[in-house]
Amino acid sequence: MKTHLALLTLLAVLSSARGDWAVKDDANTDLPGRRVDITQDGVLRARLIYGEGQMKPYLRVQGEEGDGLNEWSETQRYPHHRGIFIGWNKITSDLGSFDLWHFNNGGRMALVKLTKLEGGKDSATIVATIEWRGGAKDATGGDLLLTETRTLTVSRPAAKTTQVDAQFVLQAARDLSLGGDLQHAGVHFRASASVVPRAGETAYVWEPDLAGKDGKVASKDLKWARYTFPIGTRWYHATELNAPTNPVEELSWRDYGRFGFFFKKELKKDETLAIKYRFFTELAEGVTAKPTDEQRAVWRKGAQAQYEAFAK
């Protein structure tokens, strides 16, 4: 009898994790620009938002029962933080120095082509071409800094868990430097604006388990970071896994829910940099307040297991 029940439970979990995935590009109804919806059996799992009126393309991930884990507001604290996103606040070249994090001095980031929109039985994939441009032109009239190929694959490896595999391939259009500081550069996750009033209830764990100070952890061995936060009456984990092949210098984090990995990089014209990350968002069971040491240990164990599977 126990074996039969265990089999039924396993089948239920697998059934909820699988299903027909679809991808659709359409006009936005509540925000400027356009959106690419990723659905599983008609349920929205993630949304790529881009186009005119958006300062940067970003991915929004859905939680359970319609919970928006990265809901954005024009009135939110730091409105340039949006979903899963990338940027550097100091990109220096012969054109000068431009901020493609805050977008406050003429630089811009535009999705110019959706090269792949593919749904399947186990996942959905978006491949987009994105141009990063400066706010000045060279003698030929060109302002292209680099061309990015962004690949986002969304899946549900288990019930109440969404996985996003994100690859960013950056090809330099001229000699340039990706610089700035850890709070304003790299690949980051920003939780919903609704988390800000409850920032004191949130928690982080990361690996290696070093002491963090002033919202940063400095290490070239950073593997992952996990953030636990409330959305309404439910709690979620958001985990970012850093591929072993990625350059990394620091982890940047804020209690209100913006965190990610930072590094600086010099690129020669036509040189390509490929970086990979895996994100998990999952329902966090049994959380009502700041975690105990026992809960933190469980969360660390879970994130480490995810990282080891990813690193292989």
Question: pLDDT tens, 16-45?
Answer: 445 699 999 999 988 899 999 999 999 999
9 within some domain: no
Query: In whole angstroms, what is the distance from residue 114 CA to residue 186 CA?
Result: 23
Are the C-beta atoms of residues 192 and 71 closer than 8 Å to each other? yes
Residues lower than pLDDT 50 in the chain: 1-17
5 within some domain: no
For residue 77, the model assigns a pLDDT of 73
122 within some domain: yes
For residue 200, the model assigns a pLDDT of 92
For residue 287, the model assigns a pLDDT of 86
Strand partners, 154: 124, 164
Digit-coded pLDDT (tens) for 225-245: 999 999 999 999 999 999 999
Domain that holds residue 220: 15-311
Query: In whole angstroms, what is the distance from residue 141 CA to residue 66 CA?
Result: 46
CATH code: domain of residue 67 = 2.70.98
Structurally, the chain folds into a number of domains equal to 1
182 within some domain: yes
For residue 9, the model assigns a pLDDT of 35
Query: In whole angstroms, what is the distance from residue 297 CA to residue 171 CA?
Result: 40
For residue 30, the model assigns a pLDDT of 84
**What does the DSSP 8-state code read for residue 287?**
-
Distance of CA 256 to the CA centre of its chain: 15
Distance of CA 162 to the CA centre of its chain: 12
111 within some domain: yes
24 within some domain: yes
Distance of CA 274 to the CA centre of its chain: 16
Are the C-beta atoms of residues 284 and 228 closer than 8 Å to each other? yes
Q: What is the dihedral of CA 253, 172, 244, 222, to 10 degrees?
A: -20
Are the C-beta atoms of residues 186 and 254 closer than 8 Å to each other? no
Task: Tell me if residue 149 falls in helix, strand or coil.
Answer: strand
Are the C-beta atoms of residues 48 and 61 closer than 8 Å to each other? no
Q: Could you report how far apart the first and last alpha carbons of the chain are, in Å?
A: 36
6 within some domain: no
Query: In whole angstroms, what is the distance from residue 75 CA to residue 78 CA?
Result: 8
Are the C-beta atoms of residues 195 and 214 closer than 8 Å to each other? no
Sign (positive or negative) of CA dihedral 212, 214, 220, 225:
positive
For residue 18, the model assigns a pLDDT of 55
Cβ-based neighbours of 57, under 8 Å, separated by 6 or more? 48, 49, 50, 85, 109, 111, 128, 130, 150
Residue with tokens 């928690």: 203
Q: Tokens representing 239? A: 């985990």
How far is residue 35 from each of residues 38, 97, 169, measured CA to CA in Å? 10, 30, 21
Sign (positive or negative) of CA dihedral 97, 102, 107, 109:
positive
For residue 6, the model assigns a pLDDT of 39
CB atoms within 10 A of CB 243: 18
For residue 241, the model assigns a pLDDT of 98
* 3-class SS letters over 173-191: CCCEEEECCHHHEEEEEEC
3 within some domain: no
Query: In whole angstroms, what is the distance from residue 23 CA to residue 43 CA?
Result: 11
